[in-house]
Amino acid sequence: MAETQKISGDYFGSEENATEALLYLKNSHNQIYLSEAYNLLGICYRKLLNFDKAIEYYNQAAKIAKDSISKSIVQNNIAMVYFDKKDYTSALKILTALNASAIVQTNLSAKARVLNNIGSIYQTINNPAALSYLQNSLNIRLKTNDLPGMLSGNIQLAKYYAAKNKKVAASYALKAYNIATKIKNPDERLTALQILINVLPEKESKKEAIGYFTINDSLTKMRLKNKSEFASIKYNSKNTEAENLRLKNQQTQNKLQAQNDRVLKLVFVMIACGAVATAFFIVIVQRLKHKKAKIIEVYNTESRISKKIHDELANDMFDTMMFTESLHFDTDDKKETLLKRLDSVYEKTRDISRENSSVDTGNDFYIVLIEMLARYKTPQLNVLPVNTHSVSWNVLDEHKKVTIYRVLQEFMVNMKKHSQATLVVVKFTVADKKLHISYADNGVGIKKNNFFYKNGLQNAENRIKSINGTITFDDITKGLKISIAIPL
């Protein structure tokens, strides 16, 4: 953009954009573009008559120029700044050194440029050698068909002859005008017309004067239009840059959001894994507790059986053995006594067997349960099961059925041994997704020193807790009232 503005004559705009471009080029590794930017700034400041600034930027360009041709072009430009400053000695010193250098002697374009500039300085200081330099420069450009160079050479020769030979000056000016028109250089067309107006007679120069003002007016309008367009392009460029920056920021935010989402997902996965591991651990602990409870139950059952055998069967068997050894069975009374004792041992053996035998937990479980309760019924003791038919026994798993059976059996055994009760009521109800069992008898309750009674109830409590149920002893001093709740 800065280069285009320079060509269109907008040196202020070109300088502004070239300066902005430097901010980006300094951080890049492209030394060629950086050197061109410095050279462009030198040109702009020369046209804006800021000669010291122009020399400063030309020197910067010369420092980083990569090849000899580029360096010679920059040196030539510095010499012309000194020419504009009217420091002709410094300008000629640089140009003379360039003309003698190998790179200029072997490059026709560079040689023609240096010769033309030396001729222009000599012309300014009225050195007769000026014409030779100007003509040699134009001849080289004619050979190489360098149209911009030919335009510059014809302009310089037209200026040279303007005060010496107006006809020749007009000829060179006309050639310059035609070349400027061909390569579309409005500034040099104006310069050529200005020379024609000055060197031609007034009558003949009227056409050129009209052309001059027309071109000048068009050029002014074109530059104003270009300046407006460049401002619009720059505005749009800045908007585009701002939009790109916004999109880049949005993209960065999206990446951060995606990263945050991944972190959250990872956290959720870790939490889920932790929850699963915790649940697995709880299940394992519950299984171990259940297994431990079953082991304790087996141990207690074995201990209870062992105690019953020792306390009841062994003593009765021993008494029966002593009775048979000490007596002769010569009378019916003695035989009857022996039979009663043996029948008592048999009954106790059968009771122990029933208490510890497997329980039928099938569809007829409630019948098995009622029959168990009924076995404890005697002429002196009435046992009343209530609402057994109102319970959907099939919703209970096998372990819960066995637990209910053994707990109620434990109550009945303890009752028979210790309570002296004459009435037992066992009531079943369902409420709040739980099976509620209420046991009550009218016995003597539990005395503080009755260890065996309390131990039996403790076994029952352990069994209920193993199936996540609850057991409450409502009254243990005046009869016995127990409430049980088991999840369905």
347-353 long-range CB contacts below 8 Å, 24 or more apart? 348/308, 348/312, 348/313, 348/316, 349/313, 352/305, 352/308, 352/309, 352/312, 352/313
Nearest to 308 by CA among 441, 446, 452: 452
In this model, does residue 425 exceed pLDDT 90?
yes
| DSSP sequence for 26-76 | TTSS-HHHHHHHHHHHHHHHHHTT-HHHHHHHHHHHHHH--SHHHHHHHHH
Task: Count other Cβ atoms within 10 Å, centred on residue 443.
Answer: 20
Supply angle C-alpha 9, 15, 18, rounded to 5: 115
**CA–CA separation, 251 vs 73, rounded Å?**
46
- Cα separation of 112 and 122, whole Å? 15
End-to-end CA distance of the chain: 86
Instruction: Specify the pLDDT at position 451.
Output: 46
pLDDT computed for residue 215 by the predictor: 55
Q: Is pLDDT larger for residue 23 or for residue 61? A: 61
Per-residue pLDDT band for 299 (boundaries 50, 70, 90) equals: very low
Query: 6 near 14, Cβ under 8 Å?
Result: yes
Q: How far apart are CA 268 and CA 458, in angstroms?
A: 45
- Give residue-wise pLDDT tens across range 27-59: 666 677 787 888 888 888 888 889 998 999 888
pLDDT at 8: 55
Tokens at residue 271, please? Answer: 């939490």
pTM of the predicted model as reported, rounded to 2 decimal places: 0.43
pLDDT of residue 208: 59
Local confidence band at 385 (pLDDT 50, 70, 90 cut-offs): very high
Rounded Cα gap, residues 159 and 129, in angstroms = 15
Cα(275)–Cα(288) distance, rounded to whole angstroms? 20
- Whether pLDDT at 287 is above 80: no
φ, ψ for residue 485, nearest 5 deg: -130, 125
364 secondary structure, DSSP code? T
Confidence at residue 467, expressed as pLDDT on a 0 to 100 scale: 92
pLDDT for 330-364, tens place per residue? 667 766 777 677 766 656 665 565 556 678 888 88
Which ranges in 357-397 belong to alpha helices (H)? 365-374
The domains found in the chain, sorted by start residue, are 2-247 (1.25.40.10), 359-487 (3.30.565.10)
Average pLDDT across the chain, whole number: 80
